[in-house]
């Protein structure tokens, strides 16, 4: 394994142990604040990765760089404003990824400001850059308005209740089709998420690291 692949593997492990737990914990915490304690009762307001990791999602992210954690259980009937609060709960996860990406880029800016940069600092910068990029990717992927991704909750909040319930009942099949489509597009050398991530990451990197 060359150095770049080794750093990427370390970064993916970091995402599994830190970024996924923060993302899912954010969902559970916001849901709890809005009236649904289901996630809290299941122990999901926690940064313990073993409360959040999904076996297949873990395998996928280590093999192909795209994976997922166990979704936080949500009982929308417990929300005071079901559609709105479900949407806010959903957005909390991607927002946590964006905040982590910003934090990692700020750390890169700090490291670049050091008078000397030994190999350990350059390695840390590379890891932080990978971690920031993956967090931006997670945020963008989850904000896609496709059920059951988090972004769909905002779109679905505007739908009539009967249509809303029908889509909720088909989310498992939609997710399977989405993963197949993503892998197929990736094999053809085209990734819409990669395109959006690259542009968003370059914007944030320029804003925080280069111009900060």
Please tell me the distance from the alpha carbon of residue 160 to that of residue 140, in angstroms, as a whole number. 26
Tokens coding 154:
């905002």
Closest-CA residue to 150 (of 68, 60, 73, 89) = 89
Tokens coding 71:
């979704």
At residue 67, does pLDDT exceed 90?
no
At residue 99, does pLDDT exceed 90?
yes
Q: Which residues constitute the domain of residue 153? A: 3-210
Residue 116: exposure state from Cβ atoms within 10 A (0-12, 13-18, ≥19): exposed
User: What are the C-alpha distances in Å from 88 to residues 61, 91, 108, 173?
Assistant: 26, 5, 30, 24
Task: Choose, from 24, 32, 36, 150, the residue flagged as catalytic.
Answer: 24
More confident residue, 104 or 178: 104
Closest-CA residue to 30 (of 67, 70, 79, 77) = 79
pLDDT confidence of residue 160: 65
The position carrying tokens 């492990």 is 13
pLDDT confidence of residue 171: 61
Please tell me the distance from the alpha carbon of residue 39 to that of residue 109, in angstroms, as a whole number. 36
At residue 136, does pLDDT exceed 90?
yes
Per the structure, the count of domains in the chain is 1
pLDDT confidence of residue 165: 66
More confident residue, 113 or 3: 113
pTM (2 d.p.): 0.83
Please tell me the distance from the alpha carbon of residue 93 to that of residue 106, in angstroms, as a whole number. 20
Which residues, including other chains, have CB under 8 Å from residue 84's CB and lie 6 or more apart?
A: 157
At residue 178, does pLDDT exceed 70?
no
pLDDT confidence of residue 53: 92
pLDDT confidence of residue 185: 63
Beta bridge partners, 69, equal 53
Per the annotation, the verdict on 24 as an active-site residue is yes
Please tell me the distance from the alpha carbon of residue 198 to that of residue 187, in angstroms, as a whole number. 18
Beta bridge partners, 53, equal 69
| Helix (H/G/I), strand (E/B), else coil: 128 | helix
Q: State pLDDT tens for residues 24-38.
A: 999 999 999 999 999
Closest-CA residue to 135 (of 17, 23, 4) = 23
pLDDT confidence of residue 182: 66
Tokens coding 20:
């996924």
């Amino acid at each position: 394994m060359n150095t770049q692949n080794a750093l990427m593997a370390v970064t993916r492990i970091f995402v599994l142990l830190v970024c996924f737990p923060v993302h899912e914990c954010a969902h559970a915490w916001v849901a709890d604040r809005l009236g649904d304690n289901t996630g809290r009762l299941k122990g999901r307001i926690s940064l313990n990765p073993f409360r959040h990791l999904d076996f297949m999602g873990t395998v996928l992210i280590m093999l192909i760089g795209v994976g997922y954690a166990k979704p936080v259980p949500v009982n929308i009937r417990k929300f005071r404003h079901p559609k709105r609060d479900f949407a806010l709960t959903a957005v909390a996860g991607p927002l946590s990824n964006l905040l982590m990406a910003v934090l990692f880029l700020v750390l890169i800016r700090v490291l670049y400001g050091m008078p000397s940069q030994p190999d350990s600092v350059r390695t840390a910068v590379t890891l932080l850059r990978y971690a920031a990029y993956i967090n931006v990717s997670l945020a963008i992927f989850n904000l896609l308005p496709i059920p059951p991704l988090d972004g769909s909750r905002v779109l679905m909040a505007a739908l009539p209740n009967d249509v809303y319930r029908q889509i909720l009942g088909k989310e498992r099949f939609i997710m399977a089709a989405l993963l197949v489509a993503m892998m197929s597009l990736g094999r053809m050398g085209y990734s819409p998420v990669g395109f959006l991530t690259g542009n968003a990451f370059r914007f944030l990197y320029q804003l925080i690291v280069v111009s900060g």
